[in-house]
């Protein structure tokens, strides 16, 4: 039996954005570059959203407007959760929506991803089989797959192809 996609879960570091929090110098800062907001570290290294992550989150937003109830969530392990939250507050996808506004549920702490998913399941009541997870680390994919979550490995960050693969897994049409 094919379950409906109800929850798309994204790792943050090197899945939604780059560089990873441990690779940046100091907490993020925001500055305006004309009409565009740029998020950087203290050495002015830009923190940017992968195009595929922007595409997937924008598509989820559009599907929700069309009354398809798909939620987005974060499952991220970092030792700098406040920096990650600040990036989510400031970074925007292609349609201008902040990452914070894109995600319905956020699990950020330094624990195993399996625990993140147990908490997401408890909060949402969504079956593991109705979830998809994107991550650039195979150990996280392996950990979460045991729960019955459909997982997509994104070693080079989130891509449109990874999102299309998720839609295909659930028998959904692509744009």
Q: Which of 11, 51, 95, 112 is catalytic?
A: 11
DSSP string across 13-31: BTTTEES-GGGSSSS-EEE
**Would you call 95 a catalytic residue per the annotation?**
no
**Would you call 135 a catalytic residue per the annotation?**
no
The secondary element (H helix, E strand) that includes residue 7 is strand 7-10
**Maximum CA pair distance of the chain?**
51
Q: Which of 13, 41, 89, 112 is catalytic?
A: 13
DSSP string across 124-146: H---GGGEEEEES-HHHHHHHHT
Residue 8 contacts residue 58 (beta carbons within 8 Å): no
Active-site annotation, residues: 11, 13
């Amino acid at each position: 039996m094919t379950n409906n996609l109800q929850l798309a879960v994204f790792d943050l570091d090197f899945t939604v954005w780059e560089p990873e929090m441990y690779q940046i110098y100091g907490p993020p800062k925001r500055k305006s570059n004309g009409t565009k907001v740029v998020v950087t570290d203290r050495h002015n290294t830009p923190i940017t959203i992968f195009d595929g992550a922007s595409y997937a989150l924008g598509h989820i937003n559009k599907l929700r407007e069309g009354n398809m109830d798909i939620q987005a969530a974060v499952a991220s392990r970092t030792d700098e959760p406040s920096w990650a939250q600040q990036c989510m507050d400031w970074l925007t996808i292609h349609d201008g929506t902040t990452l914070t506004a894109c995600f319905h549920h956020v699990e950020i702490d330094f624990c195993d991803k399996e625990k993140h998913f147990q908490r997401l399941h408890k909060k949402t009541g969504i079956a593991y089989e109705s979830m998809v997870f994107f991550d650039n680390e195979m150990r996280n994919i392996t950990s979460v797959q045991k729960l019955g979550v459909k997982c997509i490995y994104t070693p080079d960050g989130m891509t449109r192809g990874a999102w299309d693969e998720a839609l295909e897994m659930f028998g959904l049409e692509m744009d």
